[in-house]
Structure 1
Amino acid sequence: MELLFDTAALPERDRAAAWMDTTARALVTTDCRLLDVARFRARLHTTALGAGRLSVMSYGPLRSRRTPGLIRRSDPEHYQVAVILSGRQRLEQAGNRALLHPGDMVFYDTSRAFDARVEPDETDESGSESLLLQFPRRLLPLAESDLARLLAVPLSGRQGIGRVMSRFLTELAAERHRCGPQDLARLGSTAIDLVVALLAHHLGDEHADEPSRSPREVLFLRVTTFVEQHLHHPELTPAAIARAHQISLRYLHRIFQEHGTSVGAYVRDRRMDRCRRDLSDPGLRHLPVQAIGARWGYPGPSEFSRAFRTATGLPPGRYRDLAHAAGGDGRRPFAPAPRPAPAPGR
C-alpha cells in the first residue's frame, strides 16, 4: 500500500490544495474546504485490488463537495463504499442524508453530486479515519435504479453481512503488505462480491433471485477494467493480461472473440481513444505529441506516429491542429473524415 499523502511536511497554506490534488488522483475530484486550517492533519494510503482500490484515510475537519461541473470535467464512474473507523461524518447524495459514526458504512456514486463533511467529535477534534473501497460501477450486477435507493444511507457494519464486509476490509488493509499483486487482485474480486451481497441484503428479498452475470461475463468486465487502468504500460500484452487474471492465453482470446473483438484490437482501440481525447484537449496543448503517446503506452515517437496514422489516417500533430481548429474541448474527441477506400487493384 503506497503512502500517497501526509501533511507532516507541508506548510499550513498548502494543505488544502495538496489534499485536493492527492484525492483527485487517488479517488475523485472534489472541491475541498478545511474547517480548521491550523490543526488540519491528513494521511492517505492506497493499494490496487485488481479492478478496485482500497484506501485508508485519516483527515481533519473539512467539507468536500463534488459538483455537477466537476463530474462533467472528470468522472471515473466508480461506486465507493466507506467504513467509518473513528470520528463523525455527514454525507448528502441523491436526496439522502447520512450522519455516520464509527462502525457505520455508506455507499455512494462518483457520477452523482455529493456533499461530505468531517466534523469534530465531542471527545476528539482530530477528525476522522475511514476505509474506502472504490471500483467501476459496471461491475455491480444490480440495477442502477435500485442502487440509487441506498446512496448516502447509513449501513451498519456491526452485525450480519455488514460486519463481515467491514472486518474483511479492515483485515485486508492490515495484511496487504503480505499479499502479492495477484493475491490482491483476487481479494479485490472477493471484496466486490461482498459489496453485492451487502447491497442485495439491504435492497430486500425481492432482489434475492435476480439473475446475476455469468462468471465469464464478470471476467470479461474485470479484464476490460484492468486494461483501462493499465493502458499507460507499454508491456500491456495479452500474455500479461492473462497472467494477471490467472487464466490461459487461449481462454483470454476466446472471451474477447465472444464479444466480437480481439485482445490486441481492444487495447489498441482504447489507447487510440485516449490519445485522440488528449490531443483534442486545449488544456493539454502544452504537452508534446510524443508525451501524449507515451502516457498511453507508446514509448517511442515513431511507434506512436505510425500507430496513430494507421488508426486515423493522420499524423498526431496534424490531428491536433485540426481538432483545435474545429473547437475540440477535450470531452468529445475530434473525428476526421474517414480515410478513402483504396482503389480496386491497389
Structure 2
Amino acid sequence: MLTVFDSATIAPQDRLEAWREITAASLAPTAIDCPEPEAFSAHLRAVPLGGAQITSLAYTALAARRTPREIRRSDPEYYQVGLIRAGRQGVAQNDASALLGCGDLVIYDSSRPFEAVVSADSRAESVVLQFGKRMLPLPAKQVAGLCAVSLPGAEGIGRLLATFLASMADGRTRCTERDALRLETIAVDLTTAVLAHHLERDNPPLCSPTRTLYLRIVAFIEQNLHDPDLSPVTIALAHRISARYLHRIFQQHHPVSVAGHIRTRRLDQARRDLADPRLGHLTIAAIARRWGFPRPADFSRAFHRQTGVPPRDYRNSA
C-alpha cells in the first residue's frame, strides 16, 4: 500500500506531531525535536517492495533519536539504507558518526540507538530502503562496523545501488506484486554487494539454493501472517517440501523454530498496531485477528509472555 504524507495539508502547530506519527508507523519510532516547530515542513512517500519498503523523505531542520525506550516500544529488526539526495545530515550509531552530503549512502540498524540531525540551513531529502536484517547474508558484527559510516553513492558499485533507490523513489517504475518481490531481492543483493565491497570481501556471499528457499519461505510468512491457518504444514505444502525439510532449513538459517518465528512476527506487528494512534478505533481483539490470532485470550497470553505487560496496558502506555 502506497503511503503519502504532506505537511502542507496540516495546520502548522500540528505538523511535527503528525511527522512523529507517520515516521513511527512507516519506519520506526524515534524521538523527534525541531528548533522551530511551526516552521517545520515535510513530505513522505512509502512504497512496499515485497517484505521491504522504499521511502522518499524531505524535511526541514530536526533532530531524531532512536533511544532504548523507542527500541523497547517497537523494533521491526530492520536494516535501513539511506541515500542522501539533498542537504547535509549528521548521523551517529555504534560509536561512529558521519556528516553526509548529496550522493552519500549510509546504513543503520533499527535495533541499536542512533541519532540523525539536519541543520537549520538546509532542507534535507533522502531515500530509505528498509528490509529484515535476516535477509542480509553478511555477519551482523561486520555490518555493525559499517553503520553510520559515509559510503560513496556517486561512483563505483555504490552508484548502482544509489541509482536503483533513486529510480524506485521517483515513482516511475510500475510493477505487479511479483515484480515487487523480485525487486526486493535485487535491492538486498545490491546492498550486500556494496557492503561486501567495503568490508574488502571480493566475493559477496552467494545464496545457495537452500538459502534462496529459506528467504522465499521467510517472505511467504511475512505475506501471510494474517492467516490464522499459517503453520509449518501449510508453509511446507505451499513450497512443495516436507515439513521435516522445512524444519531442517530453519535449523540451518534461523535462531528459532518456524512456529516461534511466526508467533514472534505476529506479535511484533500487533505491538506496532497497538502503539499506532491512527488505529485507536480498532479493538484489541480486532488487531489480534488482523495478525492471525482468532482467539483474544490466546493473543493476550502470548503478548504478555513476550512483552511482560498485557495488551491493554501496552496500548495505554504507548
TM-score in terms of structure 2 length: 0.80
Q: In terms of Rg, which structure is larger?
A: 1
Rounded to whole Å, the distance in 2 between the matches of 1:28 and 1:55 is 12
RMSD: 3.7
Please state if 1:258 is matched with 2:217: no
Please state if 1:331 is matched with 2:307: yes
What does residue 252 of structure 2 align with? none
Report 1:28-107 matches (<5 A). 28-107=28-107
Residue of 277, 286, 293 corresponding to 1:291:
286
CA shift, 1:323, in A, is 8.2
What SS is found at the alignment partner of 1:217?
A: helix
Rounded to whole Å, the distance in 1 between the matches of 2:189 and 2:266 is 30
Q: 1:174 to 1:233 in 2, by over 3 A?
A: farther
What does residue 19 of structure 1 align with? 19
Report 1:59-208 matches (<5 A). 59-121=59-121, 125=122, 127-175=123-171, 177-204=173-200, 207-208=201-202
Instruction: Confirm or deny: 8 A CA contact 2:63 2:117 kept in the other structure.
Output: yes
Rounded to whole Å, the distance in 1 between the matches of 2:119 and 2:11 is 22
Instruction: Confirm or deny: 8 A CA contact 1:3 1:46 kept in the other structure.
Output: yes
What does residue 245 of structure 1 align with? none
What SS is found at the alignment partner of 1:48?
A: strand
Instruction: Confirm or deny: 8 A CA contact 1:277 1:330 kept in the other structure.
Output: no
What does residue 246 of structure 1 align with? none
Instruction: Confirm or deny: 8 A CA contact 2:80 2:131 kept in the other structure.
Output: yes
Instruction: Confirm or deny: 8 A CA contact 2:266 2:291 kept in the other structure.
Output: yes
What SS is found at the alignment partner of 1:253?
A: coil
Rounded to whole Å, the distance in 1 between the matches of 2:165 and 2:141 is 26
What SS is found at the alignment partner of 1:167?
A: helix
Give the percent of matched residue pairs that are identical in Structure 1 and Structure 2. 39
Deviation per CA, 1:47-87, whole angstroms, max 9, x where unpaired? 11112110111111100000012112211111011000001
CA shift, 1:147, in A, is 1.1
Rounded to whole Å, the distance in 1 between the matches of 2:172 and 2:41 is 24
Rounded to whole Å, the distance in 1 between the matches of 2:9 and 2:262 is 39
What does residue 222 of structure 2 align with? 228
Residue identity opposite 2:99 in structure 1: L
Instruction: Confirm or deny: 8 A CA contact 1:91 1:114 kept in the other structure.
Output: yes
Residue of 198, 202, 209 corresponding to 1:215:
209
Instruction: Confirm or deny: 8 A CA contact 2:32 2:62 kept in the other structure.
Output: yes
Instruction: Confirm or deny: 8 A CA contact 2:266 2:292 kept in the other structure.
Output: no
Rounded to whole Å, the distance in 2 between the matches of 1:275 and 1:97 is 33
Rounded to whole Å, the distance in 1 between the matches of 2:40 and 2:219 is 35
What does residue 339 of structure 1 align with? none
List gaps (5 residues or longer) in structure 1: 242-248, 299-303, 306-315, 335-346
Deviation per CA, 1:293-317, whole angstroms, max 9, x where unpaired? 322146xxxxx24xxxxxxxxxx44
Q: 1:331 to 1:99 in 2, by over 3 A?
A: same
Deviation per CA, 1:78-98, whole angstroms, max 9, x where unpaired? 101100000110000001111
Rounded to whole Å, the distance in 2 between the matches of 1:55 and 1:277 is 19
Instruction: Confirm or deny: 8 A CA contact 2:62 2:119 kept in the other structure.
Output: yes
CA shift, 1:4, in A, is 2.8
What SS is found at the alignment partner of 2:116?
A: strand
CA shift, 1:276, in A, is 11
CA shift, 1:177, in A, is 4.9
CA shift, 1:17, in A, is 1.4
Q: 1:261 to 1:23 in 2, by over 3 A?
A: same
Residue identity opposite 1:188 in structure 2: E
Rounded to whole Å, the distance in 1 between the matches of 2:149 and 2:80 is 13
List gaps (5 residues or longer) in structure 2: 250-256, 311-318
TM-score in terms of structure 1 length: 0.74
Q: 1:67 to 1:223 in 2, by over 3 A?
A: same
Q: 1:90 to 1:183 in 2, by over 3 A?
A: same
CA shift, 1:226, in A, is 4.3
